[in-house]
Structure 1
């Protein structure tokens, strides 16, 4: 059965905003749509484009670490507010309009970084990027759910992380390779990444699609459910349930806040990883960026591998808990590295292991969270992911703003102990709040 894409007669605006797939995507169409979501997510995660050049950018802007931390925190909170305010719109109007708009504006903003000469100009550009990220992240996570059945969803979300992880890996790798070629001129990275982002945004604008609302309202467990879901969709108007079902759920809030606390060290690495390596271990900026790229590569590999395992077993909670226990043990070791001289090759191994353990903890959670949202109502994925975005960006923004205040008071070791406490809290949430099997697949899991 071929996949039908509806025609929309409302001109170019309608063509961009409402291009619905009327049949559940199969085969190469499904792969292609997921690929478009992934590359759109790479563009939207602007932090990846910024982090590798922060050690060079701060002296140019005459910014100290504390002030930069407040800028990071404040703009990150803005992303969360945008997501929460517009969350229900992702379900009502589809996801693709927000994705197309967001990728193009982000590409322009990356180029605009070249024109930044003072703190105010930097703040304005970063604020624009933050607003767009608040739009794109819930939209892309909703699309991953739309295009993947439950058996396969953890892998789908693992691939989705090519966005935030891939942006950091790509930018760190490119910076480590090209900064010496351009004599450490930080502007060079924005020319390179801006060009890449612009090309991606054009590809996404022309080819990305939405599921029809009636199809988004169906729960698809595996490929054998596809035809049944399509049949139900023909007799379903796709009406959106009340978002308050999600916004008022203590379980969903606990899962959203818990994983954000677990990922505090991940957010730290995203915003400050190369800067931390340069400040504490005295690596040159290009070398610090190169080391950081291995963290993202290892994290990405573990997300895909644990996604495959989690989908095969259909046991999200136990898979995530393995990562939680592993990263807590690792953090004791990581803290005691501070103050020691570590060779580049050894640091690559350490940062890679950290990336692997964080991926094991996070990957299965994404599928678990999506399935818990579906259990409330399948039409509220956008609202649910907007709630997570809000929790993520507000909490990460507050801690990001306070990071170097905390470091100034208790040192980096004290900061990492706070990150460990967040990991423990998530473990407790996983044990007590999440719905789903621990050791035996549920009867309706295929």
Structure 2
């Protein structure tokens, strides 16, 4: 039963039954998928975007930095958005991003406006990054929290998968602008569904800790009189909230790198097209989405979080270390790259859904009413680390910019000028002397000697290739140097990602809960007995005159 409501005021009267609850969760997940389809689509066409606007890799990184900073600011603001409604934040935030993506981004005239729009979209994404998992927490008792968070986490992952699928199927016949419009139109459709169908819980219910179905009955029996005070920052500024939030952001460095730079990595490192890079990501994001759900279900079934977090992180560290060495080696094959990335994705999934469930349970331990501000800390740290990573990657991987800006141009010039280069190589001293003079001012005796030694036909071949030879002279050494240094630079960055995973590992021990499934089940049984006793006491009290 829900209230009659306009498109802004949207609350259930009571904790909903499973049908409406699952529908709400499904809409939140669908909204998250479409949001990240729009946010991540630019990475799939990154090379084309950089070439279209004449961006260096450093400037393209600034786009990500600005989006990350705006998202970090928004994440902090999102902690105070409960007065607007979490459902409103998700539904109307998605609509705003969708309209900008569909009608504005594809027609921006310059890179400066493109940068500004990235800030707008990053800000809205930061709001939704807090509001959407807060809604998932609201509608998922702790007994099913990891499963629900696993489903929510498929939002960014499936968003990446949709980007990869659409790009791999359409990019050969469409422009980067059209790829962005596909994402925006999808977002408009989903935002309409969210505006019509998404609901909030009233504060008196969402500010309670609900472990199982019995707790729902207890919350209703208690009524509004026992509704906790609204959450405050001081409630959640605790080590077991702040340190895990920072740790998980470092743990996500590799994921953030591949989401934002996989097309750039595969293009500059292995010469693959954007479409080929997207086909790799089809495998990666599919495996990650499926494993995220499976690991959430297992964590809920066993009632433990920390064993999954620790085991998954250690496995991910090992796989990332292997990737750092193997994937940056010349001649590495497509199947090997896919296998390693899938292994990293599955390992990360083992830890992430249980971690997010455990993190929200940490927040609830200090006060369920502080869920939004606790998740704001998580959203802020994630976006700050995203921005710092965007700054660091171009500083570490300096060889990308020459290859993106001139690599294709040099390769094409090399192919066209190959016959001329062979001729020049046979007479290096002569052509070195010829290069000192404009083509129309060569001394007669030198021109005669060139005609005698090289021949008119070969001289004509070299003259025809002069523009390409000029490109090779100007940019060839820089591109060659970048190509030789790039494998070492990418490998160094991936080792930094391993270090981020290592930094995260100790924070796993701050997540609440048992290590042993047997002890966890015993705790749950005791909790159920306490809830039954309180329900019985409330029932007896209500019968008294």
Which bin holds the TM-score, normalised by the shorter protein?
over 0.9
Unaligned 5+ residue runs, structure 1? 9-14
- Tell me the residue number matched to 2:94: 103
- Tell me the residue number matched to 1:21: 12
State whether structure 2 residue 505 is matched by structure 1 residue 439. no
- Tell me the residue number matched to 2:168: 176
Distance in 2, Cα, partners of 1:47 & 1:281: 25
- Tell me the residue number matched to 1:140: 132
State whether structure 2 residue 402 is matched by structure 1 residue 412. no
Contact 1:48 1:169 in 2 (8 A): no
Deviation at 1:436, TM superposition (A): 1.8
- Tell me the residue number matched to 2:157: 165
The 1:278/1:25 distance shift into structure 2, 3 A limit, reads farther
Residues 113-171 of structure 1: per-residue CA shift (max 9 Å, x gap): 21123211211221111011011110001000000000111010111022211111101
The alignment partner of 2:179 has SS state of helix
Deviation at 1:237, TM superposition (A): 4.1
The alignment partner of 1:259 has SS state of helix
Aligned partner (choices 308, 328, 332) of residue 342 of structure 1: 332
- Tell me the residue number matched to 1:5: 2
The 1:63/1:312 distance shift into structure 2, 3 A limit, reads same
- Tell me the residue number matched to 2:110: 118
- Tell me the residue number matched to 1:49: 41
Give the number of the structure whose alpha-carbon radius of gyration is greater: 2
RMSD: 1.6
Contact 1:48 1:172 in 2 (8 A): no
Deviation at 1:263, TM superposition (A): 0.7
Q: Which moved more, 1:282-291 or 1:232-241?
A: 232-241
Distance in 1, Cα, partners of 2:361 & 2:343: 28
Contact 1:255 1:434 in 2 (8 A): yes
Contact 1:217 1:233 in 2 (8 A): no
Structure 2 length-normalised TM: 0.77
Q: Which moved more, 1:43-52 or 1:354-363?
A: 43-52
Distance in 1, Cα, partners of 2:512 & 2:490: 35
Distance in 2, Cα, partners of 1:198 & 1:94: 20
State whether structure 2 residue 413 is matched by structure 1 residue 424. no
Aligned partner (choices 194, 209, 216) of residue 206 of structure 2: 216
Residues 258-281 of structure 1: per-residue CA shift (max 9 Å, x gap): 011111111111111222122212
The 1:387/1:131 distance shift into structure 2, 3 A limit, reads same
4+ aligned runs moved over 6 Å, structure 1: none
Deviation at 1:70, TM superposition (A): 2.3
Number of equivalenced pairs: 432
- Tell me the residue number matched to 1:289: 278
Distance in 2, Cα, partners of 1:88 & 1:187: 36
Distance in 1, Cα, partners of 2:223 & 2:493: 50
Distance in 2, Cα, partners of 1:268 & 1:73: 13
- Tell me the residue number matched to 1:324: 313
Greater helix content: 2
Distance in 2, Cα, partners of 1:270 & 1:25: 36
Deviation at 1:238, TM superposition (A): 5.2
Deviation at 1:329, TM superposition (A): 0.8
Q: What pairs with 1:13-412 in structure 2 (closer than 5 Å)? A: 15-45=6-36, 46-90=38-82, 92-111=83-102, 112-182=104-174, 185-237=175-227, 239-246=229-236, 248-337=237-326, 338-408=328-398, 411-412=489-490
The alignment partner of 1:336 has SS state of helix
Distance in 1, Cα, partners of 2:53 & 2:279: 23
Residues 163-203 of structure 1: per-residue CA shift (max 9 Å, x gap): 21111110111011011132xx1111122111111101111
Unaligned 5+ residue runs, structure 2? 400-487, 526-545
